[in-house]
Structure 1
Amino acid sequence: MNRVRGPQCPLVREASCASSPQRFLSFCLDSIGAERIRYTTEYTCEGRELNISCPENYQIHLVRANYGRLSIGICNDFGRLDWSVNCMSYKSFLIMQDRCAHKSSCGTHVSSSLFGDPCPGTLKYLEMQYHCVLGEYHLREAYLRIW
């Protein structure tokens, strides 16, 4: 478990993050008012399976999703530097919202056939930030301001 600062956990001074070579996970704590909110950012490389789940009686509430590439360091085993890092599929959020919102778990094969190919020739990944909430709880508007 590494301690990190910065863009992986915006508005958070410090967070714990765990990672593996092809799949990255970061757990971040944010506070808005008196509430402590735990959200998860998961990165799944193109061609791999995304599977996320929440504890029993909890549901997935999607905060943010992007299929493309915004960082050269994620899903880049060979250290390529010639890929676009301003690459976004604008329908990513709607697709993942449809597949995952208000469910206890969801999964999908991460590929351009699902999301489109916003940057041909660049290996892409799905970045998904979500929050597990109890029952029918709905996120407040203030929570959405973290992105």
Structure 2
Amino acid sequence: HYCMFILFLLTLLAALFNFSETVVTCDGFVQSLSCDTGVISVQSATYGRTSSQICSAGRPRSQISNTWCSKNVPVIFKRCNGLRTCEFKAQGLARPDPCFGTYKYYTTNYICITAEIQLFYLHVEHGKIQINTANYGRTDKTTCSQGRPSQQLQNTNCFSPNALDFVCEGKSSCSILASNSVFSDPCFGTFKYLNISYSCVSKCKCYCIEKLYCIVFLCVD
């Protein structure tokens, strides 16, 4: 087995969280997410069964007794993040089947965000996230420089090192806003970015023959 990862980098219109809502949809039905103001930012999306009561009407006991079945569904993040409304048939989005013979449902938790930010979402399908380096600041004059006045690019000694360690290290998924409100401002007046280098480490290290690396830049004020 090799370590695998999915990286979603979204530019969203948002800065303040208005509410959090959880939508539960039985397998085969339509799930609908919407924001009156702002856009959708999915916080978690799972498929399976953790309760014998939810989506149980008319189902035999054998189909609802397994309540230890849950699987993350990254495709919902990709499909819905950044939209005002998102509607899709909740079926066939999480393969392979996490618990064959059990009638399952989709549980999606999301918030609406209302100003311009950048949202970073990292998901590791097999294994755990290992942060190699992470900095919020600026170390060169070219990255995320388009359309910026020169005075916002001069300070290349701006560091907030290991910025994601406390959020992502050792987890299978994490999401974080690249903004001063999260990291504080290490260099006032400088246009900053979040620079991350990470690897996927297998739960069973003997299987992790190769490590997959990624470097991503997020541009933020």
TM over 0.5: yes
| 1:54 corresponding residue in structure 2 | 35
Give the alignment partner of residue 86 of structure 1, picking from 55, 68, 75.
68
| 1:76 equivalenced with 2:56 (yes/no) | yes
Q: CA RMSD in A?
A: 2.6
Question: Does the CA contact (< 8 Å) of 2:41 and 2:82 recur in 1?
Answer: yes
Given that residues 48 and 105 in structure 2 are in contact (C-alpha distance below 8 angstroms), is that contact kept between their aligned partners in structure 1? yes
Q: Identify the match of residue 82 of structure 2 among 102, 114, 121.
A: 102
Distance 2:66 2:114 in 1: 38
Task: Answer yes or no: is the 8 Å Cα contact 1:59–1:135 preserved in 2.
Answer: no
Give per-residue Cα distances to partners, 1:35-64, cap 9 Å, x unaligned.
9852000000001011111114x1111111
TM-score normalised by structure 1 residue count: 0.62
Indicate conservation of the 8 Å contact 2:32/2:86, yes or no.
Answer: yes
Which contiguous aligned blocks of 4+ residues in structure 1 show a shift greater than 6 angstroms? none
Unaligned runs of 5+ in 2: 1-15, 120-166, 168-174, 176-221
Deviation at 1:114, TM superposition (A): 2.1
- Post-superposition shift, 1:78? 3.2
Displacement of 1:123 in angstroms is: 0.8
Cα deviation digits, residues 71-94 of structure 1 (max 9, x gap): 11111113654331111223x1x1
Could you tell me which runs of 5 or more consecutive residues in structure 1 were left unpaired when the two chains were aligned.
Answer: 1-34
Q: Percent identity?
A: 29
Task: Give yes or no for contact 1:60–1:133 (8 Å, CA) kept in 2.
Answer: yes
CA distance in 1 between counterparts of 2:76 and 2:17 reads 25
Match of 1:41 in 2: 22
Q: Following the alignment from structure 1 to structure 2, what is the Cα–Cα distance between the partners of residues 129 and 101? A: 12
Whole-angstrom CA distance in 2 between matches of 1:131 and 1:72: 27
Aligned residues: 105
Residue 120, structure 1, aligned to residue 100, structure 2: yes
Q: Which amino acid aligns with 1:69?
A: R
**Using the alignment, how far apart are the partners of 1:85 and 1:42 within structure 2?**
18
Letter in 1 for 2:49: R
Matched letter for residue 28 of structure 2? G
Q: What whole-Å deviation, never above 9, does each CA across 1:78-111 have from its counterpart, x for those lacking one?
A: 3654331111223x1x111100111111121111
The residue identity in structure 2 corresponding to 1:132 is C
With the length of structure 2 as denominator, give the TM-score of the two structures: 0.42
- The aligned amino acid for 1:85 is T
* Counterpart code for 1:50: Q
- SS of residue in 2 equivalent to 1:99: helix
Check conservation: 2:49, 2:105, Cα contact below 8 A: yes
The offset of 1:134, in angstroms, is: 0.6
Aligned in 2, Cα 1:54/1:37: closer, same or farther, shift over 3 Å?
closer
Question: Are the counterparts in 1 of residues 25 and 107 from structure 2 also a CA contact under 8 Å?
Answer: yes
